[in-house]
Structure 1
Amino acid sequence: MNRNQVWIKSLLVITALILETGVWAQEAVPAHAKATAEGKAAGHSIKSWVVDKERSKYVAVLSNGAVMEIDMKGKWLRTSTPISEQKLPPLIVATVDKYVGDGYEVDNYIRIEDATDGDLFAVDITSDDEDATLLIDKKGKVLRKEGR
């Protein structure tokens, strides 16, 4: 399983953790992790925290629906933000439109800012035969098509 597949599955696991018992109080999060999150939150407040001990990271859920991942040392790893179709860059729209033309329905647009891979977009596509997530770079190139 590659790193981006793990990331997408991690986002689902993190969401499940938030809905269960993994939410931490702001006071219980180490200062170095809080400082990193606050510095990268772009004016959005932090609504909740999850500690993912299995993957050795903290996860901050922001008021705009974004999910930020920070390693245990306080280094920012990535931020995933839901984005509307209207706010997608033109190159991403052009790529997605090719799939719509082939009979796919599209939903769940997520902008991923990654410390290693830069800006990416994850887009869920569905047809009668397939459910998949496209991972698209900022130039509109499909890096991966992963079944869901």
Structure 2
Amino acid sequence: MFIFLLILGASLMVYGFKKRVEETKEQHLSSSHREWMPGAVSEASGASLSLETEEEVKDLRHRMEMLEKTLFEELLKWQMERETLKSGLLHEEDMELSLRGSEVFEEEEVLEKKPMPEHVKKVWDLLREGRSTAEAARELGISKGEVLLLKNLSKHYKE
């Protein structure tokens, strides 16, 4: 098997060298007889094509620059419009909030405090006596959190 692989590799190398020699001969022949071949005409016109393509590239670059400039100007306009709209909306919202704030303030003044319910009164009385929240919770049979909650809610009731 090993010998077979060696023979196969050597034959492929020889085949590759022969192909390369043939290709170099063809290239040498084609370069020496280029004057009378039809490909020479296309090379002469290649110079004019390159001038045309250069002009086309310049035109495309100019058009692209103009598009970028226009796009940039439009983006600036949109950004300015957006900023003016934002400032206008913020100004309107501030005015609405100031109006709402005055309305809420007036409503709070008008509302009368309700009388304190019994369970809130009990908590408040115990806390006034100087007992801690834990002692008040034990005596009333409720948790400390409920005592604190009722203490904070008692601010909204009249005594």
Q: Which has more strand, going by share of residues?
A: 1
Query: Normalized against structure 1, the TM-score is what?
Result: 0.19
Q: Which has more helix, going by share of residues?
A: 2
Query: Normalized against structure 2, the TM-score is what?
Result: 0.18
Higher relative contact order (CA 8 A, sep 6+): 2
